[in-house]
Amino acid sequence: MAKKLVIVGQGYVGLPLAEAAAANGYQVSGYEVNGAVCDILNSGRSHIGDVSDEDVQRMRGLGYVATSEPACIGEADVVVICVPTPLSEDGGPDLRAVKAAASTISDWLIRDALVVLESTTYPGTTEDVVLPILERSGLGHGTGFLLAFSPERVDPGNPIFGIRNTPKLVGGVTEEATRRAALFYGDFVETVVSLKGAKEAETAKLLENTYRHVNIALVNEMARFCHDLGIDIWEVIRGASTKPFGFHAFKPGPGVGGHCIPIDPNYLSFQVRKTLGYQFRFVELAQEINNSMPAYVAQRLQDMLNDHSRALRGSRVLLLGVTYKPDIADQRESPAVPLARILLAKGAELSYQDPYVASWSVDGEAFASVDDVDVAAGGADAVVLLQDHSVYALERLASESALFFDTRGVAPEGRAIRL
Ligand SMILES: NC(=O)c1ccc[n+]([C@@H]2O[C@H](COP(=O)([O-])OP(=O)(O)OC[C@H]3O[C@@H](n4cnc5c(N)ncnc54)[C@H](O)[C@@H]3O)[C@@H](O)[C@H]2O)c1
């Protein structure tokens, strides 16, 4: 008989997982509090880019169902938690969704089930927060159920690495929990790596994202002083990247976006400060530098307009690409918003174009994506490339624009001015 899997939360992380498990023989239910999302999925449509409508229809054909009724948990061999962990006002993770999910699971948990937390969070959450809630079920860990942490490594829009070929880390509350979790993921992931425990798996995820955050901050800081010194940072990176060992290239840009990079390292610095009383200085510095990039881009734009004898106030500025990554629709934490906020406050006449975002709002002010990017670029006083969606004909756009500011270092040199 097919094993029953319930995935709690059917978003960017939970839905691709449901798809991979369903394709490999699991009887999958997606427990999702948002009824509208359940309706979309049950009608055979997808609400996220990495899973197509056809994928959802195939899943439906394999018995997949999305539901806001938690009773499915009462039949599950495995329950995986993929709910959001946004930042709370005090800078730590907001664990309300994780706690609510654990609480629902504890109401329905059956003997011998495996529960896995995938949501990104601070070290200790699995054992100190989720475990005690699950024990309210009356079942004990090791005797009644098993609990592990396995960080999600989804890279939305990545055409090469998906769930099956991205190695999966697992760390259980006990060795037995690690072993069960490794067996579960081994059914549909090529490489599963078992770690010593849940805390190590939680911290490994945070190290991965902190590493990116810090290295992006390093090149962002270098971009600023290289500009002042008259050195081309993009050439510097191109040169350094030819070293076949000991160097991994990161690119400067208008700031960091997405759910992970601007947020996850905070979980670690929050935990270090709260538990140990001292700072995780690398993270805090990286944050300061990366968060200052939208203001730096605004300043550079203002200087460029000044060189053309124009003030930013009253200038028509067209932003290209407002998502946080190229070629996807996700706008979470995109630096386009803080940049737009600064430009609007300085009196710029703002418009934007994004093939993935039909309408966009900044602090309640709504904008519609311009229809014809070439016409809009030609009519603007300045065009700022924020996201290098591959549909943009950069050479043409740069040549049509009075001023083309390329914050991604991708437009051919010549008419474009790079960050
Ligand atoms: N998106 C990514 O690229 C990515 C990558 C790695 C890790 N993560 C982590 O994975 C976790 C989930 O992220 P996501 O991007 O899938 O979020 P998401 O917002 O896309 O999806 C989460 C879903 O969970 C649902 N939900 C919330 N509370 C619930 C509850 N109590 N019971 C059932 N459903 C509930 C929401 O309605 C939503 O549909 C987060 O901790 C995130 O940090 C995300």
365 Cβ contact list (under 8 Å, min separation 6): 344
* Residue 8 beta carbon below 6 angstroms from any ligand 1 atom: yes
Place of tokens 């709690």: 8
Element of type H or E holding 288: helix 281-291
pLDDT at 158: 86
Amino acid 198 reads A
Q: Is 9 left (phi over 0), alpha (psi -120 to 50) or beta?
A: left
pLDDT band at 263 (very low <50, low <70, confident <90, very high): confident
Sign of CA pseudo-dihedral 200, 203, 204, 207: negative
Ligand 1 centre distance from Cα of residue 376 (Å):
36
Distance from the alpha carbon of residue 88 to the mean position of ligand 1, in angstroms: 15
- Residue pair 74/105 in contact by the 8 Å Cβ criterion: no
Structure tokens at 74: 């009462």
Q: By three-state DSSP, how is residue 289 classified?
A: helix
Q: What is the mean pLDDT of residues 337-347?
A: 97
Q: What is the pLDDT of residues 374-384, one digit of tens each?
A: 999 999 999 99
Alpha-carbon gap, residue 134 to 113, rounded angstroms: 11
For ligand 1, atom 27: residue with the closest CA: 83
- Cβ(325) to ligand 1 under 6 A? no
pLDDT at 89 > cutoff 80: no
Does residue 220 line the site of ligand 1, with CB under 6 A?
no
The residue to which tokens 């006990």 are assigned: 174
Residues in the chain: 419
Are 170 and 150 contacting, i.e. CB atoms less than 8 angstroms apart? yes
Ligand 1 binding pocket includes 343 (Cβ within 6 Å)? no
- What does the pLDDT read at residue 414? 84
Name the nearest CA neighbour of 59 among 35, 84, 41: 41
Q: What's residue 229's pLDDT? A: 98
pLDDT tens, 349-391? 999 999 999 999 999 999 989 999 999 999 999 999 999 999 9
Q: Whose CA is nearest to atom 21 of ligand 1?
A: 11
Q: Please, which pLDDT band fits residue 270 given cuts at 50, 70 and 90?
A: confident
- Residue with CA closest to ligand 1 atom 44: 13
Angle value at C-alpha 393, between 404 and 341, nearest 5 degrees: 45
Distance (Å, whole) CA 122 – CA 130: 12
100, 194, 273 from 152: Cα distances, Å: 19, 14, 25
pLDDT at residue 90 above 80?
no
Gap from CA of 81 to ligand 1 centroid (Å)? 9
Give the residue numbers annotated as catalytic, written as ranges. 260
pLDDT band at 159 (very low <50, low <70, confident <90, very high): confident
For residue 93, pLDDT over 90 is answered with no
pLDDT, tens only, 278-300: 888 999 899 999 999 999 999 99
110 has pLDDT over 80:
yes
Partnered with residue 350 across adjacent β-strands are: 317
pLDDT bucket at 266, cuts 50 / 70 / 90: confident
Q: Ligand 1: does its nearest atom lie under 6 Å from the Cβ of 100?
A: yes
Q: What is the mean pLDDT of residues 66-84?
A: 97
Contact between residue 73 and residue 105 where contact means Cβ atoms under 8 Å apart:
yes
- Among 28-37, 142-151, 253-262, 400-409, the minimum mean pLDDT is found in 253-262
